Structure 1
Amino acid sequence: MKIATFNINGIKARAEALPRWLDDAQPDVVQLQEIKSVDEAFPRALFEERGYNVETHGQKGFNGVAILSKLPLEDVTRGLPGDDSDEQARWIEATVLGKRALRICGLYLPNGNPVELENGKPVPGGKYDYKLKWMERLHARAAELIASEEPVLMAGDYNIIPQVEDAKRPEAWREDALFRPESRAAFRRILNLGYTEAFRARTQGAGHYSFWDYQAGAWNKNDGIRIDHFLLTPQAADLMRDCRIDAEIRGHEKPSDHVPVWIELDL
């Protein structure tokens, strides 16, 4: 089973590029972020005609996540548990029915910028405060999922640069919400529950990125960062065959600023 995550930065803007990549890559399941569309306006037919079941959790103009699956989906839930007042569309879960059931969670973790601090702590109600609190909720859900002792993966745009080698110019990100120590520590706490970060389990070293800004010729300079990740429970990690980044997509016509990351599981 080939499963991909792809922050498309707007379904309307990627109405040609996304189907073209799907036709070439032929993933069985795709988790999308930043669809920037309400559910009713999402172009379902574009994907259904390619054999995908479509589930969305949309929001007008911002955020939004979706799952495309050639396999049946069951028990679809929307919204990260822990805060009923959170209206941002950043989380979707479903069970994919392959040779055995696989629980998949698609996420678009808050960016967190600008970082607003007071006495060294995030200002309550600010964007960085929201990011860290969202990650606390993510940790709680991740703990529940790993306790199930079933194959589970959490994939998406984490807006976290885990290590120095995950940025071409790490010094430029020191005070950014994606690379601040509090953000990286929160990510490590999730990993330390027993999750495997799929890409780094297969590939080591610098120079592997999943995002290049549209500005300042970042793609041509390979001035990127790696912020799109798969986290696997032990039962899912045991099934992993491969994990790669389709970096060349960034050089195609009308690209997203992110590229797809995908894994293959023995399912």
Structure 2
Amino acid sequence: MKIATYNVNGINARLPVLLRWLAETTPDIVCLQELKAPQEKFPQDALWDAGYSAVWKGQKSWNGVAILGRGVELQETRNALPDNDQDEQSRYIEASVHGVLIGCLYLPNGNPAPGPKFEYKLRWFEQFINHAASLLETKTPTVLAGDFNVIPTNLDASHPERWVNDALFRPESRAAFTKLIESGWIDSIRKLSPTQRIYTYWDYFGNAYQRNAGLRIDHLLVSRELSEQLVEASVDRHVRGWEKTSDHAPAWIKIARDS
């Protein structure tokens, strides 16, 4: 089973890119973030024609998350964090497929920091950590995938010194990510590539992609039940070089499990 995460940065504006990538790589499950589209503007028909069913939670102009399934019906289990139903920002959706639970998230950016947006990021992060812990207790094979807006270590930034005061790299953000990992989640890319510089995001400015001045902020975490079935993890870096593409590239894992 191939599971991917991709911050599309506007699903309707990037739909040709998304469809091209889906046709090229045929992932089984895809977690999308930053739909930037209200619920009724999600391109369900185009994705269905491409062979994918979907569950989604949109939001006008901002945020928005979705899970796609190739040739399967997804069973949505929730579309917000527990006790967070009143949050106006669409940032989490969850679905079950082939005995695996998929959680798709778009964690708040948090800039400028310090400030109210950073405080919201940390509150949301803590709620997410609590929910993730409850998922581990179920012993259900689970993947948490999405744009975490966290640079976990210096290895995950081409120039970490430039990000010291940014919400993505502040000690509080990295400490929350570490807390999540230490609770029992496995960072797929780091499990298989512990020392390699791998990026998932390149800014539109300053020829960042051409210079490979990137960040790794899109992550796929797996529960212990899946960690031994993890066989491959990578990033489709070339997609970032396509015309009218997102500033993120799709990241993905393969697990040795029937799909």
Query: What TM-score, normalized to structure 1?
Result: 0.94
Q: What does residue 154 of structure 1 align with?
A: 144
**In the TM superposition, what is the alpha-carbon distance from 1:181 to its structure 2 partner?**
0.4
Contact 2:203 2:247 in 1 (8 A): yes
Partner SS state of residue 138, structure 1: helix
Q: What does residue 114 of structure 1 align with?
A: 112
Aligned mates of 1:247, 1:82 — CA distance in 2: 37
Please give the per-residue CA displacement for 1:153-211, whole angstroms capped at 9, x wherever unaligned: 10000000001010000000000000000000001111111110000001132431000
- Please state if 1:137 is matched with 2:127: yes
Partner SS state of residue 136, structure 2: helix
Partner SS state of residue 75, structure 2: strand
Code of the aligned partner of 1:36? K
Code of the aligned partner of 2:66? A
Aligned mates of 1:10, 1:264 — CA distance in 2: 26
Contact 1:150 1:236 in 2 (8 A): no
Code of the aligned partner of 1:106? C
Q: What does residue 7 of structure 1 align with?
A: 7
Q: What does residue 46 of structure 1 align with?
A: 46
Aligned mates of 1:45, 1:103 — CA distance in 2: 24
- Please state if 1:185 is matched with 2:191: no
Q: What does residue 128 of structure 1 align with?
A: 118
Contact 2:8 2:246 in 1 (8 A): yes
**In the TM superposition, what is the alpha-carbon distance from 1:255 to its structure 2 partner?**
1.1
- Please state if 1:24 is matched with 2:24: yes
Contact 2:92 2:106 in 1 (8 A): yes
Please give the per-residue CA displacement for 1:115-144, whole angstroms capped at 9, x wherever unaligned: 02xxxxxx5xx0000000001001100100
Structure 2 unaligned runs (5+)? none
Aligned mates of 2:196, 2:2 — CA distance in 1: 25
Contact 1:92 1:107 in 2 (8 A): yes
Q: What does residue 88 of structure 2 align with?
A: 87
**In the TM superposition, what is the alpha-carbon distance from 1:85 to its structure 2 partner?**
2.8
**In the TM superposition, what is the alpha-carbon distance from 1:82 to its structure 2 partner?**
3.0
**In the TM superposition, what is the alpha-carbon distance from 1:54 to its structure 2 partner?**
1.1
Out of 193-202 and 76-85, give the one that drifted further.
76-85
Contact 1:35 1:62 in 2 (8 A): yes
Alignment of 1:206-225 (within 5 A): 206-225=196-215
Partner SS state of residue 3, structure 2: strand
Code of the aligned partner of 2:201? F
Code of the aligned partner of 2:24? D
Contact 2:93 2:104 in 1 (8 A): yes
Q: What does residue 120 of structure 1 align with?
A: none
Count the aligned residue pairs.
Answer: 256
Aligned mates of 1:207, 1:265 — CA distance in 2: 22
Query: What TM-score, normalized to structure 2?
Result: 0.96
Structure 1 stretches of 4+ moved >6 Å: none
Code of the aligned partner of 1:179? F
Q: What does residue 100 of structure 2 align with?
A: 102
Code of the aligned partner of 1:5? T
Please give the per-residue CA displacement for 1:73-125, whole angstroms capped at 9, x wherever unaligned: 1243101123333110000000012xxx0000000000000002xxxxxx5xx
Are residues 45 and 12 of structure 1, via their aligned partners in 2, closer, same or farther at CA, if it must alter by over 3 Å?
A: same
Code of the aligned partner of 2:121? K
% same residue: 45
Code of the aligned partner of 2:42? F
Contact 1:166 1:206 in 2 (8 A): no
Question: Which structure has the highest helix share of the two?
Answer: 2
